[in-house]
Structure 1
């Protein structure tokens, strides 16, 4: 079964890559008036267009297959709602039930979005902020050599003798991040590792970021 899906996936990738490459080539030919080698003919264009849409159809089928159970349940819920709202409810409550059936989903989305948005606003308005001031950050940076405050976050680049040491450091950083339950941006490039710490909820630096910076320096 898996081999069959693998073949279908490879076919989809081939069709998609070749059709996209063809469209880019055709755009290049049109813009720079170069030789098209007969690939600008309507027949070729139609074939590549069909190949592109076949690739999209295969992709849609693969997505559906991977999520078919969830889609099936949502389909059952939607069908049940349609039957109850458009056929059963009018029998008991009259035609006014049709309006309720049609506008209830819109009202639910609107009210749900309204409540969610304002709950976030109230939460941010009345909670105690944990982000550090710029003065506090600058004072703490004096105890964190190599760290810089850039774009509302702390950044530092560690250099190593070889890539193996850099990889070991990245692994150790993952353990620290898991310990603090705090996301850390890690950029590995050759023999160097760049770390970036920030608290997304605060959109700034907090005490936890500073604590993690100290932990990273201890590795």
Structure 2
């Protein structure tokens, strides 16, 4: 998988609200009503990540979820990261 240039990353980020690029990864965070809601979304993301064979770096504290995506084999951001980011956005939108 080809590592994307900073320009390519910036262009793709325009279609993802709330995502940023820093330190070789794309990042976002979400806040939920409670831990149960956050964990439910994390579980849905986990199944999709496994299906795509691409796993996020993430952290959860109570109702907060922070996600970072990068492709370790490419040492940066690739199309694979944006595919998973779009899937994550679809999951979040379906819970609202």
- TM-score for the superposition, normalised by structure 1: 0.41
Report the structure, 1 or 2, having the larger helix content.
1
Matches of 2:37 and 2:11, distance apart in 1: 31
List structure 1 runs of 4+ shifted beyond 6 angstroms: none
Query: Which residue does 1:204 correspond to in 2?
Result: 76
Q: What CA RMSD, in Å, does the superposition of the two structures yield over aligned residues?
A: 0.9
1:37-186, aligned counterparts within 5 Å? 130-186=2-58
Matches of 2:55 and 2:63, distance apart in 1: 22
Matches of 1:212 and 1:182, distance apart in 2: 8
Matches of 1:159 and 1:204, distance apart in 2: 26
What is the CA deviation profile of residues 87-143 of structure 1, one whole-angstrom value per residue up to 9, with x for unaligned ones?
Answer: xxxxxxxxxxxxxxxxxxxxxxxxxxxxxxxxxxxxxxxxxx601000000010000
Query: Which residue does 1:216 correspond to in 2?
Result: 88
Matches of 1:215 and 1:160, distance apart in 2: 18
Matches of 1:217 and 1:183, distance apart in 2: 15
Q: Which runs of 5+ in 1 are unaligned?
A: 1-128
SS of the equivalent of 2:21 reads strand
- TM-score for the superposition, normalised by structure 2: 0.91
Report the structure, 1 or 2, having the larger strand content.
2
Q: Which runs of 5+ in 2 are unaligned?
A: 92-96
Residue correspondences, number: 91
Matches of 2:55 and 2:12, distance apart in 1: 20
Higher relative contact order (CA closer than 8 Å, sequence separation 6+): 2
